[in-house]
Amino acid sequence: MESLQSILFPTLHIRNTFVTKTIKQKKMVQIIIGILALVIVGFFILAKVAKNKMKNTPMVDDHKNIITLTDKNFQQKTKNKLVLVDFWASWCAPCKMMAPILNDVSEELNGNSYIGKVNIEQYQVLAQKFKVRNIPTLILFKNGKEVGRFVGIKSKKYLLNEIAKAS
């Protein structure tokens, strides 16, 4: 049975139904916004923790065969050789990830092939000269001339293949 109110005031019943649906929709939107806010805050917290962890990761010591290049010795150390030069910085997380890979590559190189490293914080002139815009940037030099350029993290296998192609 219909209530007397809904018979006498049908528009009031329709309005109450509409208001109730609108309130439910608003609550649903608020819940969805709340969940999204929690996900976003959680993402930023996770990113901050990961960033701090990477920032505090110590640098791996260079292999004994890796050449430290400076603006003073660059020409001489890359002349008449095949040298893969890593342009890096101490604050760069991907550079820290590349260090053990470069150590492994250096172990396997023989003959006239070497790995060299340029700290771009100390030798900005070299980074500018070779137009290094992102790090890690690895430039392959043959007899002092650039023959290859790789940006970002690369695998040991990839680097060894590129060095073998340039030999």
Residue 150, helix vs strand vs coil: strand
The active-site residue out of 54, 92, 93, 151 is 92
CA–CA separation, 60 vs 62, rounded Å? 6
Measuring CA to CA, which residue among 55, 146, 52 is closest to residue 95?
A: 55
- In 3D space, the residue among 162, 71, 160 whose CA is nearest the CA of residue 121 turns out to be 71
User: How far is Cα 162 from Cα 147, in angstroms, rounded to an integer?
Assistant: 10
95 has catalytic annotation: yes
The dihedral over CA atoms of 45, 155, 113, 131, expressed in degrees to the nearest 10, equals -50
Instruction: Tell me whether residue 58 is one of the annotated catalytic residues.
Output: no
User: Which is the catalytic residue, given 67, 82, 85, 95?
Assistant: 95
Instruction: Give the residue numbers marked as catalytic.
Output: 92, 95
